[in-house]
Each structure stands twice: as C-alpha cells, then as structure tokens.
Structure 1
Amino acid sequence: MPTSMPRALANKVKDVLNYAAEQPAVDVDTRTNTVTPPPSYDYLDDEAKAEVAQKVADVEPRIADVLDEGDAVDDEVARAIAKASGLPGPVHTASSLEDLLGVSNDGPLAPGEVRNRGPVAGTDGKPGIPGIKAADLGEVITLPNGKKVAIFGDSYGKPQVGPPTDPTNTHYPSVAVPVTFDAKGRPHFGPPLTGPDGKNVLFPLPEEAKRAGANNALPAGSITIGKDTYMMVVGTNTNEGLNPKGGSWLVKVTNDPAGGWRPVDGSYRPWSPNADPGKGPIPPTQISGYQASDGKVYIAADAFDRSQGVTMYRVDPDQVWNRGQWEPYNGNNTWGPAGQPATTTITPPGQHWGELSFREVDGKPVLSGTNLNNDSTKIPTVEVHVGDNPTQVLNPDTSPKTVVMSNDPNAPNFVPAPYGGYILPGSTLDNLGIFGSQWYEPQGGPVHYDVQDIRANVKPG
C-alpha cells in the first residue's frame, strides 16, 4: 500500500473504528480485519450478547466497503505509474485496515514517530496473559539467568477491576509473568509464575507494612546494575486506594519469582504523606535507575501517590540496596548528605509525576514516565525525555520530549486515562519499546485496564 494513501480514506477507517468502539463495543483487529466480541462477552446477559452480535454484523460490511475503496485507489495509483513510466504499474491490494491508515506496525520508525501497536495484556490484550483478563504496568525485568518476566500490578481473573468484595474475581496483588519477544518485538506471555491473594505472592509484606495497615503490595520501579536488579515495593490497602500507607522497601530480584522476592533487610521506610504539615522533603516511594558509564548508579524518584515531581539520587553500585547511602541531588550540581531526602526536583515547579522508567539507551540517559501536569495544561501524558546527563534529563531547554500517550482527545497519540511508560529491554533511541497502561471506565461501558505496546523513535535530530 503506498504511503500516499489519501487522508480521506484513512479518516473513513477511523470512523469505522470509532463506531466499533461505541457501545456496545466490539473489537477490531486492524491487521486481520476481523471483528470479535469484547473480552467481557461471556459475562454479559442474553440481551447484551444479542446487541453485541448485531454490532459485529454491522461493522463487518463497513470494513468490507472501506477495503474495496482502498483497492480502487490502488488501481488508480497503478494506472498512473504505468502511464508516467511506460512500464506496468505495481499491483497493490488493501490487505488490512492498518494499510489504509497509512500505519506500518513493524517497519522502521521515522524521526519523532510514535506507533501504538495496541493492547497486549489486560482487558483488551492480544495475545494476553493466560488466566488473567485485567492487568496494568508490566515492567519487564531481566532475571540473573537472562530470562525475562513482566511485573504487573493489581491484576484480575475477569476483564474488570475489583471490587475487592467480589470473591469471584480472582485478585493478584502483583504478578510475575514470563515474557518473550519475537523478531518484530511483539511480546508473548506465559502462565503467571506467582499466585493470587495469599498464594505464593510475589512480594511478601514485611511486618512493618502490616502494622501500618497494608494488605497489598505493588511494584514501584526498578534499578539495574549489570545482571542485578532491585525493585522498590510499596504497601497499600485494597480498601483505601493507592496511597502507600504501608511504606516502601527494596527487594533483590532472583531467578525464582514463584518463591517470592523478600524485603532487603534495613530497606523499609514508613510513608510520610505530603499532606502532613512540617514534613519537608520525604523519602521516595517510586523509583527507577541504572548504572551509568561513570560507574555511579543514578536513581530517578517520586511518590507512588503522584504527589511529587521527580528527584534524583546517586549511589555506588555495591550500595544500591542500602537506602542510607543514596546521595540526593539538590540542584546546581550539588549532592547532599547520603541518606537524606532530596530537597529539590529536576522537574519544573508544580509538576507531579507517576510511574518512572530511567535507563541508559545508546549511551544517553532516557527517562520515560507519567507526567500528571503536562506543562500548564494539567493533561496527563506518558512522555519520553532524552538527555546528555542524568540530572538534566528533564531540562526542557536541553532534553527533547516525545509524548507517546496523551489524555488530550485532540492529541496525535490520544489514549484515555494513560499512565505507565516502562522502557523495554533491547531498546534503541530510534526504536524505543515502551509498555504504557490505560485505566479507563466509560459510563455504561466496559473498563479498559490494559498494557499497550508502543514503539517510538526518540533519537535527537
């Protein structure tokens, strides 16, 4: 399909897809042009199932019509080539809706291009996770033996989120899932390695977290040093939202996630809510870091409850486990005393951030994450920043930004209620793999609680 496919035809495809997404929503695979009921179909009543079946029957001929129109456009292009060159024109067929959209999901990315290849896990996920129909986050961790697991947050057996009072919807407080990637970088998930509540859980709660009122443990980022990885974990309460009331601690990743990753001795820190007066700077409850070429480990940090901007720490690689040795960056190229919270952010004033992923890619520090206050718009985005040094990676004057997911309906990469943004292993600046998340509950419609496979060319020009 030529890249000059008329925009009007691409807009017709978008109209079909938008219609398919209206209630009762049905799924459209733009690669195969197939229409299927949503993952929640088995839980619908008979009347709703009949409405979905009718919707499938309505969408299929619309797809056929737009594909026929694409074939007609291709014929015109072929005739024009033949007339201009005196040679037979190439024969094209509109093999998929992706072609008509002008999207090639597997080819090279143009500078600045962002390509969302769709949900791969969770309520809308294809291929999805065996036995789990709702999931988010999915940070990919490399085990010491080289195998990879995706670490999802609160996950559920049904294609819906909770509630915790529903005993029929199996809840996983956090879950490790084996993952491999094919030649095109697409993920394939195996059966979960860890269990639901109370059964070989991934992150056993320390006693301090239990005493603070936590009954749930969630992943809060990772630090990579060679073959070693440490993760931060926070304690939450399923009846009280996502505040990390159970504090935070570190675990060291092992080859046996099914056996649980135990808290590192001495790493626990209680939660200090920003709302408490007089607290001042507080310990981070969400992090991401890597060992840079200068030998130091740099750690980007914020708050799990999204109440802070991004701060920076550094530490010797053999002391990553020891939070008392983390040195805070306090601005103006100065580092504070080890063990103290950072007194300044590396983000502009007023910004609050969520999930973070901080890695070195092609020799450059790259930070991907959720910005809850995008500039002055207050529109949440998942964005990627490429810098020249770790402390300046979010400097708007020197570090270009690429928005890969935006809550703005008018934005090019619109995804309602986006978050996450984990950089995938093996990424390059011109082919950065990212797992972004969505938690969107439209009125009267099924929840979208999933992980999406995104590729972006963030290489500076």
Structure 2
Amino acid sequence: MAGGEPSGTSGGEPARTAGGPGRRLVLAAGLGLATAAAGLTAGAPRASAAATAITGTKVRNLTGPAETGQFAAPWTDLGIPVRCPDGTMLFVCGDTFDGDGVGGPNWRAPVGLRARHPDLNALVIDDSVGGSQAVGLVPEGHENNTTAIPSDVFTVGNTMYMHLMRGVLYQTHHSDFWRSTDNGQTWQYLCQWPGDQYGGQFQQKTYAVADDGYAYVLSSVFNRDVPSDLLLHRVPQDRLGDPAAYQPWGYANGAWAWGNYPTTITARRRFGEICFRAMGGKYALTWLNMEPLDIRAQVFPLPTSNLFATPEQTLIVPTTPGNESGNAVANPYGGFIVPGSTFGNFHIAVSQWYDNQNYRVMQYRINGLAA
C-alpha cells in the first residue's frame, strides 16, 4: 500500500476503517484481475525472449500476523531490504498497521523490521526498530492523510541512507533524504527535493553504489497512473546529502554526456517501484511495470548502457487470489533485490495487497535470469 498499489479497478477502494487511509486495490492498469490473468495464458506481451526461460518460487512470507505481529506490524508492505554495517538486514516498510487488517490502528510509515541473522535460505524477521512496537523511523503524523513512503535504502561504508516520498499518496509534495550511523536505529535528516523537479520525474529515486566513488541514481514519477521518463544522475558517495552534487546524464548536441539536462534512458512508461543495484560486476534494475502488469528486470554492464536495446526480462506475472504458483502472484508490486543475491541465486522482496487481510511482503527466488 505504502509504496503503492498498482492502479486499476476491480471493486474500488477497500473499506476504510478508523485511522486508516483509503487506497486502491493492486490491479493491472485499467484491467480487472481476471483479464490480467487471462493474458498470461493467452500470450500476454513479454519484453524479450529471455523472459520465457525465467521461473520463480515463493520462499516464504516475510511479514504478516504470524511473522511480524509480535512487533505490532502484522500489516505492512514494501520491505526494502538493506544490509546494515553490523551484518543484520533491515527491511524498511511502508504504511504499517496493527489490529485486524489494513487501515487498523497505529498507522506508521516507514518502519524498520530486522533479520538479525540474514541468510537467503532462512530469512526470518526477528527484531524491529522499536522492539516489541515497531516505531516510525522519522516524524510523520499522517495529518490530512499524508505519509512517508520509502523508495530506497542503501549502505555506504558504515552509513545507511534512506530516501522518502512525502505527501498524500501519489501527490508527492517533496522527497527527502536521511542518514543513519547506528544500523538504522535512528535517522538524521539531510536534505530534500521539490516534488515538481523535472516535472515530477525526480520523486522516486533508487541508488546503485558503484566501486568508482559514485552512486548512480535512477528516478521517475511516483504515480502509477502517469507515464514517466526514467532519469539517470550520479553523485559522489561523500556528497549524497548535497542536492547540488547530483549530476544528470542527458543527450544534447548529438552526444550523451554528464551535465546535460537529463534525458530519459529508456522508453517512457508507467512505473511502479524501481530498484537499481550494482552487483556481480554489472548493474541490475528491477521495476513494477504497469502495462501489462508484471515485475521486470534488466541487466547491463554500465550505468550509461543503452536500456532501449537491453532485453527486459519478466520476473513476476500476475494472477488471481487462490491461483498462485511459481512466479505468478496475485496483485504483485515492489520487487526489491535482496542483498546477497547473485544472478544465479536471485531473490526479490515482492509485496501483495488484495484485501484487508492479504497485505504483506514475500520472498521470491528467481531462476533463469540472463546476466
């Protein structure tokens, strides 16, 4: 919910309950779930032939009443995973509720749920920032239905960084940036960007920390109903909290160069969540694709590689509740790469929301990703 539910209609908003925001259900854009599911067996468009080789398996639920209810966080989503300096893994989640379901009491965002002994084969959340009561990581009172949605969390050396989108969902007033030097227990404000920068296409950001001293930043609009460019910037790792240090990549005067006004690096489309990582000597981008609804990936050698010509590989496809198997998920979103993944052992955190008791983060293993 917090990072959002893919838009579309099939019964409208879930019923509101005291203290909770109204939200649209997770559906393919403009399609009912039955239509989206039918497309899977009727030859729904695939981005490339490489996608046909991909399979996937649900490993486990990472959140839910049985998994994270003990931290007053039975209902939460996103769960952006980050390896902390102390070796633990923090899952930074979006809109989080206690009680009987989505919209219940004790609305917080973002929260931090922790796996103290992370292992891709036994990834269990057994702690939270706040102990038995997962607390909001930053001040956010949700006045007038505002919230603080994480788009990325990452580590550089002994410091962790978190990017948040602030405002009413899909009406981003600004995004802001935070730092932690105690493994995500406390966070200090660094800077912010206006929500209308680059026509809103700097609202949602994700960071790939490279070995050349830079972090490479991809950004888009944070609104699944709005087509967006995908913009690329780079920033020195020692100036991450300085907006003036973010250098755009763009095409001008017949050439691509750093410092030009930013130009989209891939086809304009409706993006959901995006996740950009340096791994295995290459770069991996995963994203929630809205039309058709699926979670995709691209693997490429350089941040400046030509993504127009890079195969898009489908990791997760949609289905209807009760018909999930393999890499078919009812109402999927998210798709954040889990630290420790390799291209041969690729794990992602997938969110799901289709009713007030089915709102969670899950771990999926993806097989056959072409690197």
With structure 2 as the length reference, what TM-score do the two structures score? 0.74
State the partner residue of 1:448: 358
Name the residue aligned to 1:178: 114
| AA aligned opposite 1:119 | N
1:127 and 2:47 matched = no
Is the counterpart of residue 137 in structure 1 residue 78 in structure 2? yes
Distance in 2, matches of 1:141 and 1:393, equals 27
Aligned to 1:405: 316
CA distance in 2, matches of 1:232, 1:196: 25
Other-structure match for 2:91:
150
Match of 1:335 among 245, 258, 261: 258
Aligned partners of 2:172 and 2:195 also within 8 Å: yes
- Residue in structure 2 matched with residue 217 of structure 1 by the alignment: 148
Report the Cα distance in structure 2 between the residues aligned to 1:184 and 1:140, rounded to whole angstroms: 12
Matching residue within 323, 347, 353 for 1:433: 347
1:42 aligned partner: none
Give the Cα–Cα distance (whole angstroms) in 2 for the partners of residues 393 and 433 of structure 1. 25
Distance in 2, matches of 1:269 and 1:436, equals 28
Partner of 1:251: 178
1:100-149 CA-partner distances (Å, limit 9, x unpaired) = xxxxxxxxxx97332222432136xx634523221101111233333321
3-state SS of 1:371 partner: strand
Which of residues 267, 270, 277 is equivalent to 1:348? 267
Question: Which letter maps to 2:172?
Answer: P
Partner of 2:20: none
SS of residue paired to 2:244 = helix
> 1:367 and 2:276 equivalent?
no
For the pair 1:204 / 2:154, whether they are aligned, the reply is no
1:409-448, CA deviations, whole angstroms, 9 ceiling, x for partnerless residues? Answer: 699732222110111111111001110111113xxxx542
Report what 1:30 is aligned to.
Answer: none
Alignment-derived partner of residue 13 in structure 2:
none
- Contact 1:379/1:407 (<8 A) preserved: no
Look up the match of 1:357: 275
Q: What secondary structure is seen at the aligned counterpart in 1 of 2:330?
A: coil
**TM-score, length-normalised on structure 1?**
0.60
Q: What is the identity, as a one-letter code, of the residue corresponding to 2:189?
A: P
Amino acid in structure 2 at the alignment position of 1:173: A
Q: What are the within-5 Å matches in structure 2 for residues 232-243 of structure 1?
A: 232-237=163-168, 241-243=169-171
Residue 284 of structure 1, CA deviation: 1.2
Provide the C-alpha distance between the structure 2 equivalents of 1:392 and 1:159, rounded to a whole number of angstroms: 47
What is the deviation of 1:362?
0.9
Structure (1/2) with the larger strand percentage: 2
Partner amino acid, structure 2, of 1:424: V
**Structure 2 residue corresponding to 1:114, chosen from 38, 56, 61:** 56
- SS in structure 2 at match of 1:127: helix
Hey, what does 2:37 align to over in structure 1? none
Aligned-pair distance for 1:449?
Answer: 0.8
Name the aligned partner's letter for residue 237 of structure 2: P
User: Using the alignment, how far apart are the partners of 1:283 and 1:326 within structure 2?
Assistant: 14
Aligned counterpart for 2:214 among listed residues 292, 296, 312: 296
Q: Is the 8 A contact 1:223 1:299 kept in 2?
A: no
**Aligned partners of 2:182, 2:312: CA distance in 1, in Å?**
35
- Quote the offset at 1:224 in angstroms: 3.8
Q: 1:214 to 1:439 in 2, by over 3 A?
A: closer
Structure 2 residue identity aligned to 1:217: A
The amino acid of 2:110's aligned partner reads S
Structure 2 partner of 1:418: 332
Q: Distance in 2 between matches of 1:184 and 1:173?
A: 26
Give the CA deviation at 1:298: 0.7
One-letter amino acid matched to 2:278: E
Residues 218-250 of structure 1: CA distance to partner in whole angstroms, max 9, x if unpaired? 21213443343321112234xxx44223x1110
Q: Give the superposition deviation at 1:262.
A: 2.4
1:460 — aligned with what? 370
Sort the Cα spacing of 1:195 and 1:156 in 2 relative to 1 into closer, same or farther, 3 A. Answer: farther
Does 2:219 align with 1:305?
no
CA distance in 1, matches of 2:146, 2:54: 43
Larger relative contact order (CA 8 Å, sep ≥ 6): 2
User: C-alpha offsets along residues 270-325 of structure 1, whole Å, 9 cap, x if unaligned?
Assistant: 322xxxxxx86446121111232333221111122233232111112211111211
What is the alpha-carbon distance in structure 2 between the residues aligned to residue 393 and residue 406 of structure 1?
Answer: 25
Structure 2 partner of 1:319:
239
1:271 is aligned to 195
Secondary structure of the structure 2 residue equivalent to 1:318: helix
Q: Partners in 2 of 1:439 and 1:394 — Cα distance?
A: 30
- Aligned partners of 2:86 and 2:183 also within 8 Å: no
Residue aligned with 1:289, SS: strand
- Amino acid in structure 2 at the alignment position of 1:305: N
Residue correspondence of structure 1 range 80-119 to structure 2 within 5 A: 112-119=54-61
Instruction: Give, in whole Å, the separation in 1 of the partners of 2:120 and 2:89.
Output: 17
Q: How many residues are paired up?
A: 311
- Structure 2 distance, partners of 1:170, 1:393, is 45
